[in-house]
Amino acid sequence: MTQLRFALAQIDTCVGDLDGNADRIMQYAHLAAHGGARVVVFPEMTLTGYPIEDLALRRTFRQAAWDKANWLATELEADGLGDLYVAVGTVGTDHALDKPRNRMVVLHDGTVSAAYDKHFLPNYGVFDEFRIFAAGERSTVLEVDGVRIGVAICEDIWQDGGPVAALAEQGIDVLMTMNGSPYEEGKTHTRYDLAVRRAAEVHAPVIYVNQVGGQDDLVFDGGSFVVDADGTLLERSPMFVEHLGFFDLDTSAQHQTPGDIEPALDPDEEVYTACVLGLKDYMAKNHFTGVCLGLSGGIDSALVAAMAADACGGANVHGISMPSMYSSDGSKDDAADLAANIGAHYDIQPIEPLFNAFQGQLALEGVAAENLQARIRGVIVMAYSNSKGLLAVATGNKSELACGYSTIYGDAVGGYAPIKDLLKTRVWELSRWRNRAAQAGIGVGGLRIVGNESRGAGKPLPNGVMIPVNSIEKAPSAELRPGQKDSDSLPEYELLDKVLAAYIEHAHGRADLLADGFDAKTVDTVMRLVDRAEWKRRQYPLGPKVTALAFGRDRRLPVTNAFRE
C-alpha cells in the first residue's frame, strides 16, 4: 500500500510579476510541507501569471522566467524543501520553432525538471493560446514513491484524445491537472462533469487545481477539487479565496477517502463575489487603494459602490453626487443614503452652472445636450481620479452597454467597470442579495474573498441595509431631460434582457429569436441597437496601421503586467 499526500495550492498570481509570484509559491510550498504533503501542485502558468498573451513572445521575459524557476528550485532546497515535489506552471521556449510553450515544471532536489508542455491550445472565446504557443507533443508521467502521476494542463482535459488518452493507455494512479479556468456562471458544474469523465477514462482520481483572482477582464474563481475514479467528489476548495487543500491518495484502496468539501455558494453570492474580486485585484495589481464614482441615486451606481466598498472598504470609496436641473430630490437622497450606509466619502458637485457655461457657447439641443451633461460628469469623475490618485469606476451594466444606451466619454469613463457583464435584471437581483446578506450580518468588507477577512461581519451596516430599497424599486431613468424613463428608448428590461441573453449569450439569430417567441418589432429593435453599439463599447479611436507593429490588433499585452526588464 502506498499513501501519497498532495497539496492543492490555489493561489492568486499577477501577470509578469515573477518576483511576487515566486514568493507566493515559496510561501505555499512551506505550508504544503508543513501539512505533510509530498507533492504540491499550483495553477497554470503560476510563475508568469496567466493569461500572459503576447508577453510570452518577448524573449527577455522567457529568459527571466527560466532564471526565476531555477532560483526557486535552489531556494526551496536551501529552505529544506528539496524533498518536496513542487509542480508549477511557467513559460518555456521551443528553440527549434522560436516559440513559447505553456509548460509545467517540477522543482525537486534543487533542480528544475520533468517538463510537460500543454498540448491543446484553446483559440476561442477569451483564449488566444494557439496564436502564442507551440503545442506540446508528449504525455508525461511523474513517478513519486512508486506512484504514477499523469499530468495535464487545463484545455488538455477539455478535448478528447491527446495526452489524457495517452495516459489512459499507459496506466496512471492519479491525474494531476493545473488550470487557469476563468469564472463563468454555472461553470462549476461543467468542470466537475468533465473531471468525472476524465477520471473514468484514466481509471484514477483527478486533481483539479485552479487559479484564483482577477486579471484584467477575467476573474478566476478557484474552486479546486478532487474526484475519484468513480466520480465521487473527494475534496472541494472554496471559491474566490486563496486556499491550500490536501488530498491523500491510497493506491491500494478501491475508493479514496473524502476530505474537506466546501459547500456551494448561492448563485447570486457567487456572481456578486466574482465582481468584487475582479475589482479588488484590478486595484491591487495596478496599485490603486481607492476608487471614485458618480452616485446618481440609481441602482447601477449603488450596486457598484457597494461592490467597491466590499472590495476596498467604504472609507476608500469616494462617491460624487452630480445633480442637474433634472435630478429628482429622491435621487439625491438615495445617493446620500447609500454613501452613508457604506461609510463612503460623499461630495456634491452640481453640474448646472457648468452646463450653463457650455450652453452659453454651444447652445446644444436634444441628445447632444443630454450627452453634454453626462460628459461634464465624466470630466468631474476623472478630475477626482487624477487629483486624488483614485481608480475611476464606470457604472454601466450589460443591458445599456449592449444597446448603446450610454454616453461615450460620459458615464462610460473609468478604468474598471464592475457590472459591465451584468444584465439590468441581474443588477436588481444582486442588489437584493446584498441587502439580504447585510440583514444576515455581512457588513462592508465582510465577504469571503482573497485578502478580506474570512466571512465575517465586516463593518456593520446601519439598519442592516446596504442599498436603498428605493434605488432598487424605482423606474430606471437617466434623468437627462424632464420625466425621462429608460423605457422611452428601450423595451422594458424584463423583456429586453431575455432578448439580449438569447441574442448575445446564446448567439441566436433573427429566426431563432422569433422561434423563441419574441415579437418581430422587439427583435428588430434590439438587434439594430446591439449591432450599432460596437464602437461605443470600445470608445477608443481606430486608426490605420502603416508600420510593421502598431498598437492594438498586433501587439496584445495585458493591462496588468508587472514585468519590467
State which residue, 225 or 416, has the beta carbon closest to a second copy. Answer: 416
Which is catalytic among the residues 14, 44, 285, 292? 44
Residues within window 45-74 making contact with a second copy, judged by CB under 8 A: 57-60
Q: Which of residues 217-246 bind a second copy (CB under 8 A)?
A: 217-219
* The Cα angle at residue 278 between residues 275 and 284, in degrees rounded to 5: 140
Secondary structure (DSSP) of 93-116:
EETTTTEEEEEEEEEETTEEEEEE
- Judged by CB under 8 A, the residue of 279, 292, 308, 529 near a second copy is 279
Nearer to a second copy, 247 or 503 (CB): 503
- Cβ nearer to a second copy, comparing 59 with 203: 59
CB of 309 to a second copy, least distance (A): 17
* Pair 484, 324: CB distance under 8 Å: no
Judged by CB under 8 A, the chain residues 412 through 441 that form the site for a second copy are: 412-422
Rounded to whole angstroms, the Cα distance separating 142 from 165 reads: 16
Show the site string, 509-528: x = touches a second copy by CB under 8 A, - = not.
Answer: xxx---------------xx
493 binds a second copy (CB under 8 A): no
The span of 82-90, 110-118, 224-232, 530-538 binding a second copy (CB under 8 A) equals: 530-538
In whole angstroms, what is the distance from residue 178 CA to residue 180 CA? 7
Give the nearest distance from C-beta 415 to a second copy in angstroms: 6
- Kindly tell me the burial class for residue 39, based on how many C-beta atoms sit within 10 Å of its own C-beta (0-12, 13-18, 19 or more): buried
Please state, in angstroms and rounded to a whole number, the distance separating the CA atoms of residues 240 and 260: 17
The neighbour count for residue 379, using CB atoms within 10 Å, is: 13
Q: Which of 14, 53, 68, 118 is catalytic?
A: 118
Considering only CA atoms, which of 20, 25, 23 is closest in space to residue 40?
A: 25
Contacts with a second copy in 337-356 (CB under 8 A)?
349-350, 353-354
- The binding site comprises 124, 181, 187, 294-301, 371, 395, 400, 536
Selected from 505, 515, 519, 520, the binder of a second copy by CB under 8 A is: 505
- Distance, in Å, from the CA atom of 360 to the CA atom of 356, rounded to the nearest integer, reads 6
Does an H or E element contain 249, and which?
Answer: strand 243-250
Cβ closest to a second copy, residue 341 vs residue 406: 406
Is the distance from CB of 305 to CB of 335 less than 8 angstroms? no
Identify the burial level of 77 via C-beta atoms within 10 angstroms of its C-beta, where 0-12 means exposed, 13-18 middle and 19 or more buried. middle
We find the least distance from the C-beta atom of residue 182 to a second copy, in angstroms, to be 6
Exposed, middle or buried: residue 387 (CB in 10 Å: 0-12, 13-18, 19+)?
A: exposed
- Quick one: DSSP state of residue 231? S
Task: Please give the residues from 352 up to 381 whose contact with a second copy meets the rule CB under 8 A.
Answer: 353-354, 357-358, 360-362, 364-365, 367-368, 371-372, 375-376, 378-380
Question: Would you list which residues are annotated within the binding site for deamido-NAD(+)?
Answer: 371, 400, 536
Shortest CA distance to 173 belongs to which of 66, 71, 267, 247? Answer: 247
Site for a second copy in 282-301 (CB under 8 A): 282, 286
Closer residue to a second copy (CB): 158 or 358: 358
Q: How far is CA 272 from CA 315, 465, 498, in A?
A: 20, 16, 20
Annotated binding site for L-glutamine: 124, 181, 187
Q: Is the peptide bond before 51 cis (omega within 30 degrees of 0)?
A: yes
Q: Which is nearer to a second copy, 33 or 354 (CB)?
A: 354
Q: Count residues contacting a second copy (CB under 8 A)?
A: 108
Q: Answer yes or no whether residue 96 interacts with a second copy by CB under 8 A.
A: no
541 counts as binding a second copy under rule CB under 8 A:
yes
> Given candidates 246, 332, 504, 522, which one binds a second copy under the rule CB under 8 A?
504
* Catalytic residue (choose from 154, 275, 312, 403): 154
548 CB neighbour count, 10 Å cutoff = 6
Given a contact cutoff of 8 angstroms between Cβ atoms, the answer to whether 184 and 210 are in contact is no
Nearer to a second copy, 247 or 288 (CB): 288
Rule CB under 8 A: choose which of 159, 386, 439, 454 binds a second copy. 386
- Positions 163 through 182 that interact with a second copy (CB under 8 A): 182
Contact status: 534 vs a second copy (CB under 8 A): yes
Q: Is 474 a catalytic residue?
A: no
Cβ nearer to a second copy, comparing 75 with 184 = 184
For a second copy, which residue of 135, 141, 315, 382 counts as binding (CB under 8 A)?
A: 382
C-alpha cell at 270: 457567487
Residues 118-137 contacting a second copy, CB under 8 A: 123-126, 128, 130-131
Q: Is 565 in the site for a second copy (CB under 8 A)?
A: yes
Residue 432, helix vs strand vs coil: helix
Site membership for a second copy, residue 537 (CB under 8 A): yes
* 402 near a second copy (CB under 8 A): yes
Distance of alpha carbon 43 from alpha carbon 12, whole angstroms = 9
Q: Binding of a second copy at residue 557 (CB under 8 A)?
A: yes
Q: Compute the C-alpha angle 275/506/541, nearest 5°.
A: 65
Given the complex with a second copy, which of 253 and 559 has the nearer CB atom? 559
Under rule CB under 8 A, residue 214 binds a second copy: yes
Q: Is 118 a catalytic residue?
A: yes
The one-letter amino acid code at 176 reads M
Note if 44 is an active site residue: yes
CB 443 within 8 A of CB 464: no
Active site residues: 44, 118, 154
